[in-house]
Chains A and B, each alone.
Chain A
Amino acid sequence: TQLLEQSPQFLSIQEGENLTVYCNSSSVFSSLQWYRQEPGEGPVLLVTVVTGGEVKKLKRLTFQFGDARKDSSLHITAAQPGDTGLYLCAGLPYGSSNTGKLIFGQGTTLQVKP
């Protein structure tokens, strides 16, 4: 069974602090996505990384795909209360392109206090 382990599961920080969320697996993925979910809503796609070693930036969010395509990280600089939410990573395993079945991590609940 392919698994994606996210850490930490919970994170409570003060506004202005930096943080990193990790997503690790023993399996190789053809691509990896990060989603953000707010209470009472469905997850919303933030980014997709597809190349080993790839780094993508969205304003204060930096996403990295590991060289071996088994892990990824999300780094938030100078967190703001609006960043509060559940962050989910999801990987597309090799061989799943014909079904599109994603493997999701357990999620990281982030709380940013003013």
Chain B
Amino acid sequence: DAGITQSPRHKVTETGTPVTLRCHQTENHRYMYWYRQDPGHGLRLIHYSYGVKDTDKGEVSDGYSVSRSKTEDFLLTLESATSSQTSVYFCAISARGTGRQVSSYNEQFFGPGTRLTVL
């Protein structure tokens, strides 16, 4: 158990409203990731973080922002939600990472997911 929780687990919102999803970890891992999962697309990386206040974009970052003010929390924000952002969102941490380098394997452990519906 990598001690990863996500909140909320389910959310229904309306187009144009802001939404923030939270990922919390208890094991002080340096690297954290946000993915979205849609049928036929597997997992697609939205943003990732390699330390407090150190973040970078993934392949589907448009319409999303992130923040990491403390090691244990990684927040994903949809500034103005759209129906195309209806998805299941997963947070993950890397199994290992010392300094700026992750291990060459980078096994990841995932949270339970947040199901977001934008009407």
When A and B form their complex, what is the total count of cross-chain residue pairs whose Cβ atoms lie within 8 Å?
A: 76
Interface size of A by Cβ–Cβ distance < 8 Å? 28
Interface assignment of B14: CB less than 8 Å from any CB of chain A: no
In the bound complex, what is the Cα–Cα distance between A99 and B104 (angstroms)?
A: 10
Q: Is the CB of A101 within 8 A of B58?
A: yes
Q: Which residue of B lies closest to A89 (CB)?
A: B42
Pairwise interchain contact B43-A92, C-beta atoms closer than 8 A:
no
Is there contact, CB below 8 Å, between A41 and B44?
Answer: no
B64 proximal to A (CB < 8 A): no
Complex interface: chain A residues within 8 A of B41 (CB)? 106
Q: Indicate if A43 sits at the interface (CB-CB under 8 A).
A: yes
Q: Which residues in A have their C-beta under 8 angstroms from that of B31?
A: 100
- Interfacial chain A residues near B102, Cβ < 8 Å: 97-100
Q: Is the pair B106, A102 in contact by a Cβ cutoff of 8 Å?
A: yes
Q: Which of A45-68 contact B (CB under 8 A)?
A: 45, 48, 50
Of the A-B pairs whose beta carbons lie under 8 Å apart in the complex, a sample of 24, sorted by A's number, is: A4-B42, A6-B42, A30-B104, A31-B104, A31-B105, A40-B112, A40-B113, A42-B90, A42-B92, A42-B112, A43-B110, A88-B43, A92-B104, A96-B106, A97-B103, A97-B104, A98-B100, A99-B48, A100-B48, A101-B33, A101-B58, A102-B106, A106-B41, A107-B42
Query: Known contacts A97-B103, A107-B42; can you find 12 more A-B pairs with CB under 8 A?
Result: A6-B42, A33-B107, A33-B108, A40-B112, A42-B110, A43-B110, A45-B107, A50-B105, A100-B97, A101-B45, A102-B108, A106-B40
